[in-house]
Structure 1
C-alpha cells in the first residue's frame, strides 16, 4: 500500500517508515502535522494514512474527519498514547480503519495493516463489480439473500459495509446518513437487514431503532458502534436489535455475523 505518516515525533516517523518499507509498503510522505492534509493527499495519493492523535494545530480527530470528507476511500490507522475516555470509540465513529495504542510492537501494526488490506480488497472488488454490472459479484453468484439498508454518517464505513453485505449476497437497496433517513428507507424498502450506526446527527441509532421496527417489523436491525458496552447492548436489544457490529469493521467478523443471521 501507499502510506502517508503524520506524527510530530521525528523518531516515530523514521521507525514507522522503516517498518512499512520492510513489509513491502511504499511510504509516500511523512509529516510532523496534518495542517493542509487535503493538499498533502492530492500531492502524495496515499491509500492509507498512519495518523497520530496529539499534533500541533489540528488534532488527529479533526484531521481524520478532514480526510474522510476529502477522500473517504483512504484508510486511516489512528495512533495514540492518550488515556482519554472513549478515544477509540471516537476514532472508530469518525471512520478510522484501525487503532493502535502507543507503545506498540512491529508485529502489532503489521497485523493491523493486513486486516485493513483484507477489507480494502473486498471493497475494491465490490467497486469493480459495480462498475461492470455484466460481471456479478461473488455474492450474486451464490444467490441473493434479500436486501439491506445502511445508516451511518461516515462515508467510508458505508462503503465498507456495502461491500461486505454484497459479498455475503445481500443487495444494498439504500445508504443513508442519519436515523431519520433510516426510518424512511426502512418503510420504503422493507429490507431484510438494516445496519444502524449508534452515533449519528439529526437522530441517533437508539432513538431511530423503535421507529424503524414499527415501520418495518420484519427487518433485522444490526447496531454498528465503536464501543459495545454492556449498557448500550442491553438497551439496543430491549428496543429490538438482533445484535451489533463493532468498528473498525473486519470482514471475517461481519461476514460471519451475516451468515449466522441469515442461516447460511
Structure 2
C-alpha cells in the first residue's frame, strides 16, 4: 500500500487564461484611446516640443488622438513650434541632387539629433532649387524660363509662402545690374532669415554676398517687390569663418561648394 502522501492530489498548475489576457489588453487600449481631449492635447504639445515627426506619429495612434491635437498642415510656416529645426535636406552627391530624375521626386532628410532618415515626395524640385534653409524651412527659387519667383516651403507639411520675384531688385540696383538676365550672380552666397509677426505676416531677409546688400520682402504683401537694404560690409564667408557655404547655379543641377578663404 502506498504511503498516504502519495494518495494526495498534486496541486493543479495555474494555466493563464488567454481570453482574460486579451480582455485586459483591450481594456488597456480603450483606456488610452479614451483619454480626455484636453490631456491628449497637452501631451501632443509636449511631444511636439521634442520633434515634429514625433508629433505626427502621436496623432496617427488613433482617431481620438488625431482629432484632439493640432493639425500641422496649414500651421507649418506660421507657427514656429512646427518648424522642422532638427532636419536637414540631404544634398545627395555622386551625380545626384534633389530634383534629379532618378530620385523620382523624393528628397531625403536626415535628423541631426537621431540620424533617422526620411524620404519626402516633393515634386516642386522639378523646377526649383534651394537658396537657403532656415529652421528647416526651405527657401526656393524657380528656375524655369528665366523666372525668379521665390517660395518658402515647409518640406513636411507642404505649406508654401509666395514671395516676390528676385527680379524686382533690379530697378533698385546700380546701373550695371539693371539689365541683367542671368540671376546666377545672386546665388553665389545667400543667407536668409525668416520672421513671423503675431498677425501671421512672413518676412524674409536675404543677405546677398555677390552684391554685398541685404534685401527683404513680406509674403502676400500688397507691395510685391524685394526692398534693398543696407550694404554688407564684409563677405558672408568672412562673417562665418570655417563654415561651408553651398550654392546651386540657376540653370543646372550640379551642386557647388565654396570654401571660405583661409
Output the TM-score relative to the length of structure 2.
0.25
Q: Which has the larger radius of gyration?
A: 2
The structure where helix makes up a greater share of residues is: 1
TM-score normalised by length of structure 1:
0.25
